Every structure is written in structure tokens, then in C-alpha cells.
Chain A
Amino acid sequence: MTRRPALAALLLASLGAILAGCGDGPEQAALYRAERLYYQARKEEAQVRLGAQQPDSSRLLGLRSSYLKVRNAIPGPIPVAGTDRERERALSMIRTVGAAEVAGVRLALEARRADLALETAERLQSEAAADTATARQAAFMAVAAYQGLRRYDDAVAQMKRILKSFPPSMPPAGGEDPVLSIPEAIVNLRRNLGDETAAQKELREGLDYYEGLLSQSRPPEIEAQIRARILRGNLELNQIGRALEEANALERLVIATPSLRPMLAEIAFAKGKIKATVEKDPSDGIAILDRIATDFPGSPLAPRALFEAASQAEAKGALEAAKFRYEGVLQRYPESKPTAPMALFRLGLVQEKLGDWSNAKATLESVPLRYPQSSAAAEAPIAVIQHYIRENRRTAAELYFSKALETYRTLIERDSTGQAAPLFRVKMFQIYSAKGDSLGVYSIVDEMLRTDPKHPYTAQVLLEGARAANRFGNSSRSAAYLRRFLQDFPKSPLSDAVRRELRALGG
């Protein structure tokens, strides 16, 4: 009889010892629960994506909610403190919740719910401060969310915050830390908004940022990438002397570091471009650029080099040579988003200059079909109209208006909130203005106010729309557009002029 209580006590003591030895059971279980929920959400998404049809926005938001359940498993806040094991577990928790929330942001953006994406990204940024990788991801996601919300100034401000908060880190082999590409992203954003002055300013600020990074000693891999960025910036600003200096510095670094050999393409590109620009006979520079596509066919610089060679040849009037190289870009790199659409557009213009109008027209008309979300797609129909105008074929030009309008409408319908959509609407506005079609002009202004209220292109069409309405004799609509301009763009340098214009209308 006395043995049974003793046995029970022994068993209880053993169990107690086991449980005491693992006092972190609840935290470890919570992490495990979160990991399982994250795994299940990923699996659910993979299954949905395997389906024949693209998931619609409600399905995407459903998937998002599966990812957001992960947060419920670890309510937080998650302090990173204690023993090594406790700190490591806390970081694992932050990373698991972070990865799930980032996936949630991605899905919200895909479902065109940038508001939800921004809310999550901002929350994650503050909560994941202890884990740099997650906080960085959240910061990048916030940029995408701001852009999705058309809050471009906020997007730029956020990108600048990233530059201040996160120094560039060691890139993966053959890759680049995304932080280093932010200044370029800011410049491109300004350009897409049609603000070339701001783009140039950002380009200079970007150069200052890169040069500031070089004031500290960095591993050769990062230093080379920073120098490559400075080189590109100088080339873009046409600062040939500084670009050449930077190319030589980069070359010395690359020669001293065998793992950086692929960057020889960057140096060759810069030297080829400089030679082709500076020298009277561009053929040596063009030959260097041509060689990049042969020597480094897999480099992202290869299509750019071929395009640059074509542009240089075109600028010097060597149209056949230019045509050959534009065709080369399209044959070898048809999927190169930054280069191929413009190569096709330029090919059309070169064919026109060579007197082959029927092929030129076919080429220009193929641009919106092959690359519907590019700025080249917006320029191509206008190029056809301009050809007819240059040839004094006004009737043909006017007949082409409706075809161009139809092209733009189709492009907008394919992706009405896409980045190029405001540009397509501006082109439609220009055509309606040229046609003297008041209803068309008003419909585009109203559409842009609805879809892209804070977009710089909207400011532009509001002003031009006001002037067009005045010409059409509709002064009340003209005044309404001007008032809306002052309301939506109060910081615009044109505000004073607009107020005067409004007073003149008696508004």
C-alpha cells in the first residue's frame, strides 16, 4: 500500500522535472502554431494559383485573411530579450509573422486594395523594428502600397526614409541589394509622372546619396555596385568627365576582385557610350557596345547596350545600322521590359525615315499590341498621326484619330489602374482637343479626376481642360476645373497664375 503513493510521487516529480526543464513550452508552441498557419496559408495559395483561372480579388483577399491568421497565433508585442534561445525564438516569431504579413500585403496589392496593404505594412514596420530584414521588407511593401494608392509623394518620402534607415547590405551572388536601386526607382517614378525637372533633381540627389555611401569603407562587392550606380547617374546627366573617372575607378576595383568580373559589362557599356557620344566617328563606341551583347549575352546590360548602339547610330544618321540593331534587341531580348518596347517604337520611326511607311506603320501599330503597358504604346499612335500631319495629309490624320482613340480605350480597359493608364488618358485628351470634341475632352478630365485625382497628369489636363472649355465657350466648366485645380494641387507653382485666370473668368 505504501508503494503506490511513492510511485505516484515519483511519477509526478518526473513530470514536474520535465515541465520545469521546458518552461518555454507556451512560447515554443505559439511559434509552432504560427509556423503551421503560415505553411497552410502558403499551401492554400499555391493550390489556388495552380488553377487554370487567375484568382479574382475576393479570392485573393480570402487568401490574405489566411495569412493574417498567423498574427493571431502570436499576439505580440514580441520582446527580443533573455537568453540566446529566447532571443532566437523571438526573432523566429517576428520573421514568421513578418513573412505572413508581407504575403498579406502582396495579396492586398494584387487585389487592388492598396489601403489594406498600407495599413498592414505600416503596422509591420513598427512591430518588426527588432528584425531588420522584416522591417526592410515591410518598408518596401509600404512603398508599393503608396504607389497603389496613387500617393506618389508619400511613396517618394517612404523610399527616402528607407535610404536613411537601411544601409546597403551584402548582396546575394550576382545580385544587388534592393536599397541601392531606390534612387533609380524615385527617378523613374518622377519620369512616369511626367515631371522631368523633378526627375533630374532626384537623379542628382541619388548621386549625392551614392557618393555619401563611399565615404565609408565597404566590401568590394558593395563598393563596386555603388560605383556602377554613380557611373550610370553621371552618364544620364551627361557628366562625361566624371563618368569616365568613375569607370576607371570601377575597372581598377573589378580587376582587383575576381568575383566582380561580370561587372566588366558595366564598364564596357560606360566606355562604349562615352566614346560614341564624344568622338566624331561613333563607330568605335558602337563596336564596344555591340561586343557587350556578344561577350555578356546574359547580362541585363546586353539589351541596353544594343539599344544604345542603335540610338547612337540613329543619332548619327546611320539608319540601316540602327534598324539592324533595334531588330537585334527585339529578336534576342523581346522580354526586356525597359528596352524592347522602346526598341520596337524606334524601329518604326527608323523605317519611316528610310521611306518604308507601310512597314513603319505596321511596326508602330504593333507596339500597343506587343507591349500594352509601356510608354512606347502611348507614343506609337501619336507617331502615326504626326507622320500624316508632316506629310500634310490632314484628312488621313483625322481619320486616324478614331483608331488611335480606340487603341487607347482598349489599353485602358486591359488595366484601368495600371501605371501607364494616366498617360493613355492624356493622349486621348490631346486627340479630343485636336478634334475639337468638347464632350470627349470633358469626359477625359472627369475620368482622370475620378481615377487619378492627385496625379500630376490630372493637374495638367485640368489646366488644359479649363482652357479648352473656355475655347468651347463653356466658362462655368472652365472655372470649375480651375477651382478643382486649386483645391487638389494647392502647392503647385502655377497656383497664382490659375487664381488670376479664375478671377478673369469672374469665379
Chain B
Amino acid sequence: MNLSIGDAIGSAIDSVRGFRWTEFAPFFWILLIQWIFLALTTQLDQSWAMSLVAPMARMVGGEANLHYPTFFGYLSIFLGWMESFLYVVPGAVLIPMSLLRFYRRSDRALSLGAGAASRLVGAFIPTLLAGAAGTGAIWSWQRYAAGYVTSALRGSAPAPFGDFLAWLSVTIGAYAILALLLYVPIAAVQARTNPIRAIGMGLRFGFRAWPLTLMFMVQFGLPAILVQYVLEKQGPFVLGRLRPELIVVFLAVYAAATAVATFLAYITGARLYKLARGES
């Protein structure tokens, strides 16, 4: 069945209206770890907090960033790496778990608990690989390609708009990559599949529904994009003029917005996938 914009919008609206805490819970656990970590960063003057954060901070960014207030300037990058890890590694279990809980609404076998564990185990490898590939592709995009795109766009419009356009293109680029891989975990939790088939199906559907997926992902991601923009543009002001610790508040809001947006994107993707297979 061919998918239309109306299908995508309808699925997105249904996902918001049909929000269920139990389905969101696995994403909340990821969010909770991020919040705990952010809370720890406000206590680095305490030995116990420093003992927990310093090894990670050194591993990601080296010794130089462990100083005040430099640490808060680097925290968003640090959290970015942490977020990638959480959504890729624990996410390889938690994202399929959330999807299975969603499918439990219509799948009688799943609602009885039969086969859920085996489907969760089966989805681990494809989800992990899709997550790792997505992280690698976004990193490569930001490191190698984004520079050319931003310099081209900066020159295309006058100062504030050109800069904004360049920044937006880098962000949307990352969403575009994720939109291609969104359906791999969804395909992986389906019954009677295997990791290779799940990756193939997921990618094929990702390419097929790519414009629609990008549209609803950006729509759900708008609050996170907005917070990210404010943080990147006003970060030096917050660090220099206000309290550096305010960065933590921004990042906590950003993490929450990202968790909700990612959850809604997967649930909308799952609805669309079902619709395309004529299961609705």
C-alpha cells in the first residue's frame, strides 16, 4: 500500500493522542540515566560525584575539560556522546521493548506474553547495528560534509538568516540519516523475521517512507531543536554572564524533549509500518 502525507499526519496525531506511559517507560529509563548524570555534574565539587564523572569525562574529552566553568561549555558534547551510547547500546533492548509494548495493543499473542522475549532478543542485533550505523553516519556527516554545506549556505543569505540556515541544514541532515534507519528496530520486532531480513526490510521501508518520516521526525523534534539552537547560540552568554550551571537545566529539558520525540517517532513509524502492511 502506498503511504500519503495524510497517513503520516494521522499516525503522528494518533501517537500523541494514544500516548501510554508503559510504552514510553523504556525511553524514560534512558532519560532518567541522563538526568542522574546531569544532576551529578552539578555536584562535581563533591569527591563522590567527581569520582564517578571524571573517568567518563577524561575518556570522552580529556583532562582539560574537567575544570570550572569550562566543563559546562563542554557538557553538551559530553552529553551528546552519552546520549548516543544510551540510545545505541541499552537502546538496542529498550527501543524494541517499547515497540513490543505498543504492538501488544493489537497482537493477541504478545498481549499474553508469548514470544515477547524471543522477539526482543532477535531485535537486539539489528537495532544495535542500526544505532551504531546511525551514530557513525551522523558523526561523519558533521565532521566531513557539514562544513561544505554550511559554508555554501552561509554565503547564500544575509548574516543572521544565512547562519541559521547553515545550522538548520546540519541538524536536519542528522534527522535525515536517522529517518532512513528508523524502521530497522520496527522491522526487527515483527514476528517470524531474522536479523538480516529485519535490516533489509527496515532499510527498504526507510527509503520508501523517507520524506514522510523526516517530516514527522522533525515535527516531533522541534522542541529539542529549539532548545539546542538556544543552547548553541546563547551558550557563551549563559556561561559568561549568567550561571554556568544553567546549562544543565537546558540540557535536562533537551534530553526530555529528545526522549519524547524519539518515542513518538518510533511509535508513529510503527503505525505507518503496520498501515503499509495492511494490518491496521
Given the complex, which residues of A lie within 8 Å of B67, measured CB to CB? 31-32, 35, 92
Using A29-B47, A29-B50 as known contacts, say yes or no to A22 and B55 having CB atoms under 8 A apart: yes
The interface centre, meaning the residue of A25, A33, A85, A92 with most chain B CB atoms within 10 A of its CB, is A25
Q: What secondary structure prevails in chain A residues at the interface with B?
A: helix
Q: Are A35 and B68 in contact (CB under 8 A)?
A: yes
Tell me which residues across on chain B come within 8 A of A32, comparing CB atoms. Answer: 44-45, 50, 66-68, 71
A287 at the interface (CB under 8 A from B): no
Q: Please provide the chain B residues from 39 to 62 with a CB less than 8 Å away from any CB of chain A in the complex.
A: 44-52, 54-55
Q: State the CA gap A60–B44 with chains docked (Å).
A: 30
Contact with A along B1-45 (1 / 0, CB 8 A): 000000000000000000000000000000000000000000011
> Which one of B66, B69, B244 lies within 8 Å of A28 (CB-CB)?
B66
Size of the chain A interface, CB-CB below 8 angstroms? 19
Count contacts on B: residues with CB < 8 A to the other chain: 18
Q: Report A's interface with B, CB cutoff 8 A.
A: 18-19, 21-22, 24-26, 28-29, 31-33, 35-36, 39, 73, 85, 88, 92
Partner of A88, one of B45, B50, B63, B244: B63
* Contact partners of B244 in chain A: CB under 8 A: 39
User: Could you say which residues of chain B place their CB within 8 Å of the CB of A88?
Assistant: 63
Does the CB pair B66–A18 fall under 8 Å? no
Q: Is the interface of B mostly helix, strand, loop or mixed?
A: helix
Asked whether, in the complex, the Cβ of A25 is within 8 Å of the Cβ of B63, the reply is no
Q: What would 8 A/B residue contacts be, using CB atoms closer than 8 Å?
A: A18-B52, A19-B51, A22-B50, A25-B54, A28-B54, A29-B46, A32-B45, A33-B45
- What residues of chain B lie closer than 8 Å to A21, measured between beta carbons? 55
Kindly list chain A residues whose C-beta atoms are within 8 Å of the C-beta of B68: 32, 35-36, 39
Q: Which of B48, B50, B66 has the most CB of A within 10 A?
A: B50
Task: Report chain B residues within 8 Å CB of A29.
Answer: 44-47, 49-51
**Judging by beta carbons under 8 Å apart, are A36 and B51 in contact?**
no
Q: Which residues of A contact B44 (CB under 8 A)?
A: 29, 32
A24-B54, A32-B68 provided; 15 other pairs, C-beta below 8 A?
Answer: A18-B51, A25-B51, A25-B54, A28-B50, A28-B54, A28-B66, A29-B44, A29-B50, A32-B44, A32-B45, A32-B66, A32-B67, A39-B68, A73-B45, A92-B67
Kindly supply a per-residue 1/0 record for chain B positions 151-188, scoring 1 wherever the CB is within 8 Å of any chain A CB and 0 otherwise. 00000000000000000000000000000000000000
Q: Give A25 to B66 CA distance when docked, in angstroms.
A: 11
Could you tell me the distance in whole angstroms from the C-beta of A97 to the nearest C-beta in chain B? 14
Complex: A283 Cα to B66 Cα, angstroms:
64
Report the minimal beta-carbon distance from B205 to chain A, rounded to whole angstroms: 38
CB distance from A87 to the nearest CB of B (A): 12
Nearest residue, chain B, Cβ from A92: B67
For A96, the closest partner residue in chain B by CB is B67
Q: Which residue of A lies closest to B49 (CB)?
A: A29
- Please give the distance in Å from B151's CB to the nearest CB on chain A: 30
